[in-house]
Amino acid sequence: MNFPLSTIIIYARDMKKTAEFYRVHFGFKTSGEVIEGLIELHANGGGAGILIHQAAKSVKLGQVGVKPSFQVQDVDAFVLAAARQGLKFGAIHEANGYKYANAKDPDKNPVSISSRAFRLAAEI
């Protein structure tokens, strides 16, 4: 059986602000409209989509339960471009032929960028 990942659900205090974060910084497409209690985002060029769901007041956000990681070929360039748009990443780390860095979305949920998918087959 094959069960490809199609959607990640992210709980948010301000759904529109969180949807805009993923649209601006990671290129997701969305109307921003709340339909059936969700804002749907589609990955540009394929991949899993995101559903933004209103978080209940009792939900503790910003805990590391799930951390979306986005594939970028040049982590250094992405971090610089993101900073110009107001998104600050932490230190850029190097590991086994790739780089990665971490940031937080508006609800303090962790997000990551990584060049791991682009490392040379010989380096794996």
Which CATH number goes with the domain that contains 70?
Answer: 3.10.180.10
Does residue 47 lie in a domain region? Answer: yes
Does residue 1 lie in a domain region? Answer: no
Question: Could you give the CA distance from residue 89 to residue 20 in angstroms, rounded to a whole number?
Answer: 17
Question: Could you give the CA distance from residue 64 to residue 85 in angstroms, rounded to a whole number?
Answer: 24
Question: Could you give the CA distance from residue 75 to residue 80 in angstroms, rounded to a whole number?
Answer: 9
* 0.75 surpassed by pTM: yes
Q: Return the closest-CA partner of residue 50 out of 32, 63, 64, 65.
A: 32
Question: Could you give the CA distance from residue 24 to residue 16 in angstroms, rounded to a whole number?
Answer: 12
Count of structural domains, the chain: 1
pLDDT in tens, the chain (124 residues): 665 778 898 989 999 999 999 999 999 999 999 998 899 999 988 889 999 999 888 877 776 567 888 989 999 999 999 999 999 999 999 988 889 999 999 988 889 999 988 886 545 4
Does residue 119 lie in a domain region? Answer: yes
